[in-house]
Amino acid sequence: MSSSATTDSRPGTPAASGAAAIRLRGLRKEFPGRPPVVAVAGADLTIGSGEFFSMLGPSGSGKTTVLRMIAGFEQPTSGTVELAGEDVTGRPPYARDVNTVFQDYALFPHMSVQENVEYGLMVKKVGRAERRRRAAEALEQVRLGDKGDRRPTQLSGGQRQRVALARALVNRPSVLLLDEPLGALDLKLREQMQVELKEIQREVGITFLFVTHDQDEALTLSDRIAVFNEGRIEQVGSAREIYEQPANVFVAGFVGTSNLLRGEEAERATGRRGTYGIRPEKLTVVRPGTRRSGSEISAAGTVAEVVYAGPVTRFVVDLDGGGRLIALEENGHSATHDELRRGDPVELLWHSEHLIEVPEENSTTDDPSTAQRSSS
Amino acid sequence: MSLSRGTKAALWGFALLVLAFVYVPIAVVALNSFNSDRTFGWPPPSLTTKWWSVAMHAEGPRDALWTSVKAGVGATIIALVLGALLALALTRFDFFGKRVINLLVILPIALPGIVTGIALQSMIQNVLQPVLGINAGLFTIIVGHATFCVVVVFNNVSARLRRMGASLEAASADLGARPWQTMRLVTLPLVRSSLVAGAVLAFGLSFDEIVVTTFTAGPGTPTLPIWIFNNLFRPNQAPVVNVVAVVLVLISILPVWAAQRLGGEAAAESRI
């Protein structure tokens, strides 16, 4: 790149600062077939510099395809990808200032851990000493400083994951793409890696774009989340916004427990028609006739199921007016909860501000199957 | 698994029988190469190394061996280049007619050798000779052998490429490597052992090929198998044929051993 070039996009140059790290405009991807398979049906998204951003959705919802189009492994059918304000849509992966942590890690089996981490610097002709120093630094950062001369095959899954992270971070990309990086790890290790990922992101200040189907992971890690479904972005917002104010029935169901009342059920329980949702932990289960304060609303029902789950107990309650709600109660707070059994009559209490009106769909596409699925 | 004493003995007996079935005839040939009786009378009246020294100085087998080596090396080189490139194209890229080409590449190994031979011979007689002035000889042998050697290399390399998956090459590109760098630093090192295994196998196939060779070799350029076949029933040459056969057995053990070792390493390498 010559010094006279005006479209210099290296991060930190005045032209790039202030611009969004990633901007997707009308990004669409169809895979050939009869009819063509629409993997991504037009995604618009702006991700700020230094954000920890998650793309959350079930498998096949298009989130990984979006990631692959940002990395350059797939070409969009239409739409554009901008990195730091510059259109990179037609560029190959090696000409984009992003690095990827792959789901299967994709470590080079014929190279040592050190050589794996140095790879990106080596192909960019960084000097040997500088390469050594930076790779050692990156390995130190993921607490693998002593494993440099091992082969990837000699490492555990968690360690390989960290090598993959170091190999990407050592290049100091402006954006790090993570494709379900924790999917192959067991629960304990996953929770530990979540904390480490968050710490590393804060330390290096790089934009993280994280793909996951695990709602807990997305809620725990992210500054903002985009919820994907069937190739569309259903909602973009902070963890709290997504959880407390789901944009539609799909988001309410996919993130957290779906606790919906529809039509007449809703009218009988709340006095209002429409589709309403309420999170299980916002509900209180009491015996009928128990005194309540003014701000609470109540609905009568019968306990259909009691599930003890350690710190909490889950009550499944069939309402007398139709519909079924799930309530979570912390254990050890009330003797009443220990005594409740299947078939006992109860009352559910909640504060009116916790009842959220949930649109069936936020777009013109009205899918009757979704409605049937969650009301049955 | 634990077996009863009787079953074990029976299995051992059966295994030895099968091994004997395969190896005793070879042992007989080896012994006959030292048989002092010109007509292989059995049991050998006495042992001699005469045939070995005769064979050592005979020009026929030496020239034939040299022809075979040149044919094998030539066919292997063609097979390596074409087979590896085909494997890369067919596993890593999508294009129109991909399935047809895949089938066309594999077909020659299923085709009976005699059909390939006849086809090549008529090609040589009707096109190569009158139009281009190329006579049946080493060149036509190499081309004939290459038709099935390409498949062997192709199968080895494409199996490796498929098992590898494309994510390593994607990772390399993602880290900033240009296509040539990815080829040199990632793809080639990872398929190298399958290339060597394919080459060894291709050379072996070419070395003992007789059917296609019969139709493509000219009268002046017999390969070793053709020479053996031609001389087997000549009383004068029969003892020398035995010596040549034993030498062939000894030579062919080497590549098999090498291929097995490489196969083991390759398996360990791809296990990640």
DSSP string, A114-150: HHHHHHHHHHTT--HHHHHHHHHHHHHHTT-TT-TTS
Structural Rg of chain B based on CA atoms: 23
Question: How confident is the model at residue B272, as a pLDDT?
Answer: 37
* A68-91 per-position pLDDT tens digit: 999 999 999 999 999 998 999 999
pTM of the model: 0.78
> What is the rounded distance in angstroms from the CA atom of residue A59 to the CA atom of residue A56?
9
Chain B's closest residue to A123, CA to CA, is B177
> What is the rounded distance in angstroms from the CA atom of residue B228 to the CA atom of residue B67?
13
Whether omega for the bond prior to residue A109 falls within 30 degrees of 0, making it cis, is: no
Interacting residues of A215 by C-beta distance below 8 A, sequence separation 6+: A56, A254, A255, A256
User: Which tokens hold the place of B66?
Assistant: 């040299």
Do B173 and A171 lie within an 8 Å CB cutoff? no
Instruction: For residue A158, give how far its alpha carbon lies from the nearest alpha carbon of chain B (Å).
Output: 14
Chain B's closest residue to A73, CA to CA, is B170
Structural Rg of chain A based on CA atoms: 25
B270 in contact with chain A, both atoms CB, cutoff 8 A: yes
Average pLDDT, chain A: 85
> What is the rounded distance in angstroms from the CA atom of residue B187 to the CA atom of residue B161?
8
- The answer to whether the beta carbons of residues B85 and B77 sit under 8 Å apart is no
Interacting residues of B172 by C-beta distance below 8 A, sequence separation 6+: A108, A119, A123, B181, B182, B185, B186
Instruction: Mutate one of B94, B175, B190 to test the A interface: name it (highest A CB count within 10 A).
Output: B175
Which chain B positions have a beta carbon within 8 Å of A98's beta carbon? 174
Which chain A positions have a beta carbon within 8 Å of B174's beta carbon? 71-73, 93-94, 98-100
Instruction: Mutate one of A123, A124, A131 to test the B interface: name it (highest B CB count within 10 A).
Output: A123
Interacting residues of A179 by C-beta distance below 8 A, sequence separation 6+: A64, A67, A100, A101, A102, A103, A211
A275: helix, strand or coil: strand
Half-sphere exposure of A277 (CA within 13 A, CB side): 24
Half-sphere exposure of A317 (CA within 13 A, CB side): 33
Domain membership of residue B19 (yes or no) is no
Which chain B positions have a beta carbon within 8 Å of A71's beta carbon? 174
Assign a CATH topology to domain A257-375.
OB fold (Dihydrolipoamide Acetyltransferase, E2P) (2.40.50)
Which chain B positions have a beta carbon within 8 Å of A110's beta carbon? 189-190, 269
**Out of B168, B174, B186, whose CB is closest to A100?**
B174
Q: How confident is the model at residue A53 (pLDDT cuts 50, 70, 90)?
A: very high
The CATH code of the domain that includes B196 is 1.10.3720.10
B163 in contact with chain A, both atoms CB, cutoff 8 A: no
- The answer to whether the beta carbons of residues B87 and B158 sit under 8 Å apart is yes
Question: How confident is the model at residue A373, as a pLDDT?
Answer: 35
**Out of A93, A108, A123, whose CB is closest to B168?**
A108
**Could you give the residue range(s) of every CATH 2.40.50.100 domain in chain A?**
257-375
Chain A's closest residue to B272, CA to CA, is A153
Structural domain including B184 reads 28-37+45-270
Question: How confident is the model at residue A212, as a pLDDT?
Answer: 94
Rounded to the nearest 5°, which phi and psi values hold at B124?
-65, -45
> What is the rounded distance in angstroms from the CA atom of residue B70 to the CA atom of residue B72?
5
Do A106 and B186 lie within an 8 Å CB cutoff? no
> What is the rounded distance in angstroms from the CA atom of residue A9 to the CA atom of residue A21?
11
Rounded to the nearest 5°, which phi and psi values hold at B95?
-155, 165
B17 in contact with chain A, both atoms CB, cutoff 8 A: no
**Out of B167, B181, B270, whose CB is closest to A123?**
B181
Count Cβ neighbours within 10 Å for each residue of A308-329 and write b for 16 or more, e otherwise: eeeebbebbbebebbbbbbbbb
Question: How confident is the model at residue A234, as a pLDDT?
Answer: 94
- The answer to whether the beta carbons of residues A175 and A83 sit under 8 Å apart is yes
Instruction: For residue A222, give how far its alpha carbon lies from the nearest alpha carbon of chain B (Å).
Output: 24
Question: Measured in whole angstroms, how far is the alpha carbon of residue A297 from the centre of its chain?
Answer: 33
Instruction: For residue A159, give how far its alpha carbon lies from the nearest alpha carbon of chain B (Å).
Output: 13
Do B173 and A72 lie within an 8 Å CB cutoff? yes
Question: How confident is the model at residue B107, as a pLDDT?
Answer: 87
Question: How confident is the model at residue B221, as a pLDDT?
Answer: 81
Which chain A positions have a beta carbon within 8 Å of B172's beta carbon? 108, 119, 123
A314 strand-pairing partners: A307, A328
* A168-199 per-position pLDDT tens digit: 999 999 999 999 988 878 888 888 889 889 99
Q: Which residue in this structure is represented by tokens 């889950």?
A: A314
Do A106 and B173 lie within an 8 Å CB cutoff? no
Which chain B positions have a beta carbon within 8 Å of A124's beta carbon? 176
Which chain A positions have a beta carbon within 8 Å of B173's beta carbon? 72-73, 92-94
Print the SS3 string covering chain B: CCCCHHHHHHHHHHHHHHHHHHHHHHHHHHHHCCECCCCCCCCCCCECCHHHHHHHHCHHHHHHHHHHHHHHHHHHHHHHHHHHHHHHHHHHCCCCCHHHHHHHHHHHHHCCHHHHHHHHHHHHHHHHHHHHCCCCCHHHHHHHHHHHHHHHHHHHHHHHHHHHCCHHHHHHHHCCCCHHHHHHHHHHHHHHHHHHHHHHHHHHHHHCCCHHHHHHCCCCCCCHHHHHHHHCCCCCCHHHHHHHHHHHHHHHHHHHHHHHHHHHHHHHHHCC
Which DSSP category does A36 fall into?
P
Question: How confident is the model at residue B271, as a pLDDT?
Answer: 40
- What is the domain count for chain B? 1
B176 in contact with chain A, both atoms CB, cutoff 8 A: yes
Of A81, A73, A103, residue with least CA distance to A28: A81
Question: How confident is the model at residue A284, as a pLDDT?
Answer: 87
Domain membership of residue B18 (yes or no) is no
Question: How confident is the model at residue B262, as a pLDDT?
Answer: 67
Instruction: Work out the average pLDDT over A159-175.
Output: 93
Do B185 and A119 lie within an 8 Å CB cutoff? yes
Do A171 and B269 lie within an 8 Å CB cutoff? no
B190 in contact with chain A, both atoms CB, cutoff 8 A: yes
User: Which tokens hold the place of A268?
Assistant: 């009988």
Which chain A positions have a beta carbon within 8 Å of B165's beta carbon? 104
Question: How confident is the model at residue A55, as a pLDDT?
Answer: 96
> Taking 90 as the threshold, does the pLDDT of residue A4 lie above it?
no
Chain B's closest residue to A98, CA to CA, is B174
CA distances to A235, B6, B33 from A66, rounded to whole Å, are 15, 65, 71
Question: Parallel, antiparallel, or unpaired: how do β-strands A52-56 and A324-330 relate?
Answer: unpaired
**Out of B167, B269, B271, whose CB is closest to A102?**
B167
- The answer to whether the beta carbons of residues B35 and B18 sit under 8 Å apart is no
> Taking 60 as the threshold, does the pLDDT of residue A50 lie above it?
yes
Half-sphere exposure of A166 (CA within 13 A, CB side): 32
Alpha-helical (H) ranges within A245-303 are 249-254, 263-270
Which residues of chain B from 57 to 96 reach within 8 Å of chain A, CB to CB?
Answer: none
**Could you give the residue range(s) of every CATH 3.40.50.300 domain in chain A?**
22-250
Print the SS3 string covering A146-191: CCCCCCHHHCCHHHHHHHHHHHHHCCCCCEEEEECCCCCCCHHHHH
Instruction: Mutate one of A65, A100, A108 to test the B interface: name it (highest B CB count within 10 A).
Output: A108
Domain membership of residue B123 (yes or no) is yes
Q: How many CB pairs under 8 A join A and B?
A: 65
- The answer to whether the beta carbons of residues B237 and B55 sit under 8 Å apart is no
Of A86, A58, A112, residue with least CA distance to A250: A58
Which chain B positions have a beta carbon within 8 Å of A100's beta carbon? 170-171, 174
Q: How confident is the model at residue A152 (pLDDT cuts 50, 70, 90)?
A: very high
> What is the rounded distance in angstroms from the CA atom of residue B16 to the CA atom of residue A13?
78
How far is the first Cα of chain B from the last one, in angstroms, to the nearest whole number?
29
Extended strands (E) in chain A: 22-31, 37-47, 52-56, 78-83, 86-87, 98-101, 175-179, 207-212, 224-229, 232-237, 260-262, 275-277, 284-286, 296-309, 312-319, 324-330, 345-351, 356-357
| Residue A100: count of CB within 10 angstroms of its CB | 30
Chain A's closest residue to B270, CA to CA, is A109
Hey, what CATH class is A22-250 in?
alpha beta
Question: How confident is the model at residue B265, as a pLDDT?
Answer: 56
**Out of B165, B176, B186, whose CB is closest to A94?**
B176
- Per-residue confidence in pLDDT tens, chain B, 272 aa: 678 899 999 999 999 999 999 999 999 888 888 888 777 777 777 788 888 888 888 888 888 889 999 999 999 999 999 999 999 999 988 888 889 999 998 888 888 889 989 999 998 888 888 888 888 788 999 999 999 999 999 999 999 999 988 899 999 999 999 999 999 999 999 999 899 889 988 998 898 888 999 888 878 788 888 888 888 878 777 788 888 888 888 877 877 777 777 665 554 444 43
Do B168 and A72 lie within an 8 Å CB cutoff? no
Whether omega for the bond prior to residue A35 falls within 30 degrees of 0, making it cis, is: yes
